[in-house]
Every structure is written in structure tokens, then in C-alpha cells.
Amino acid sequence: MKIAIAATLVGSAAAFAPTASFGVHNSALNMATEAATEKAFAKLPATVKPGVVTGQALVDLLDAAKEQGYAIPGVNIVGSNSINACMEAAAKYGGPIMVTFSKGGGQFIAGKSLNNDADQASIAGTIAGARHVHEVAKLYGVPVVLHTDHCQKAWLPWIDGLLAASEEHYAKEGFPLFSSHM
């Protein structure tokens, strides 16, 4: 067993050792990396545009993903930096992307030092993050599914606060604040 582990480690280490062809850009790893940097946008339905995807466009996007056999990556975020990183990656490698807010992530966006006894920091942070996505998603040129993460029964006040904010947003703007809630 020890010999097998040692052989594996030596073999793995050899992959990083310089060779006579060091600097030549024709290795399988390098070619795969270069291929991955090319945009590979899935064929999206005409209803799906850059920005937050909601309503029928969301249904069309999910149907297209199912029909074409691709997954929409979803990332739990904790700040504008992780939101931007997700959208940047989607723009670089081929969107769409699902930006997912958790109760804790929302609180982190608002500030972990804030009182969160009634979920006010989690609600405010999640709303702020959602508004950030609405403001910049079109600039990245990618469709974004804006989603909330799993919610246990004890956390329903957080979702209730988000639903109230979504209703207010819809009444004012004519479109939902979020794409979906889990």
C-alpha cells in the first residue's frame, strides 16, 4: 500500500517537473485550458436576455437547459465581490449563472456586527445584494437567475421579509426582485 501511494505521489509530482519542452504550448493540459477560455454560451431562448431572468424567460431558460443537457451553475454568495466574480466568470466562460443568497450570506452583506434578532440584517443584506445584481448584471452581459437558498421553517421570517420587499419592488418597478425562492 505504501509503495502504491509513493508511486502515485511521484507520478503526480512529475507532472509539475520541468521538461525539455518547457514553454512549448502544446500539452493536453494547456490546450484544454486554452479551449476553456473561449466563450461557450449555450443556445439561449430569445426571451432570455442579459440581466436578472424572471417569469416566462426563467421558464424558457430552465426548459432550454433541460433540453440541451446543461446545468446552470449556482453559487452561494457573501458579498458584492463574490457576486461580481460569478458574473465575470459567466461572461468569460459562457453564461448564464445562478446567484444564490442564503440567510447568513445576506447578514454578511449587511454586516455581521449588526443585530439580526428579527432577521433584519439578513433581509437588508439580501435585498442590497439583489439590487446590486440588478444594477450590474446587464453590464456583464449575462443572464442571471437570482435565487434564495434553502430555508428551514425557523428562517421563514427571512423569506417573509424578502417576499414583502419583492412585492414592493414589483409594484414600483414592474418586475420581481428575485427570480425564485427555494
| CA–CA separation, 26 and 29 (whole Å) | 8
Query: CA distances (Å), 173 to each of 59, 114, 128, 137, 170, in order?
Result: 21, 29, 16, 17, 5
CA count, 13 A, side-chain hemisphere, 14? 6
Active-site residue, selected from the candidate residues 63, 117, 119, 149: 149
| Active site (annotated) includes residue 149 | yes
Whether the link from the prior residue into 96 is cis, omega within 30° of 0, is yes
Going by C-alpha positions, the residue among 59, 105, 51, 48 that lies closest to residue 82 is: 105
Catalytic residues: 149
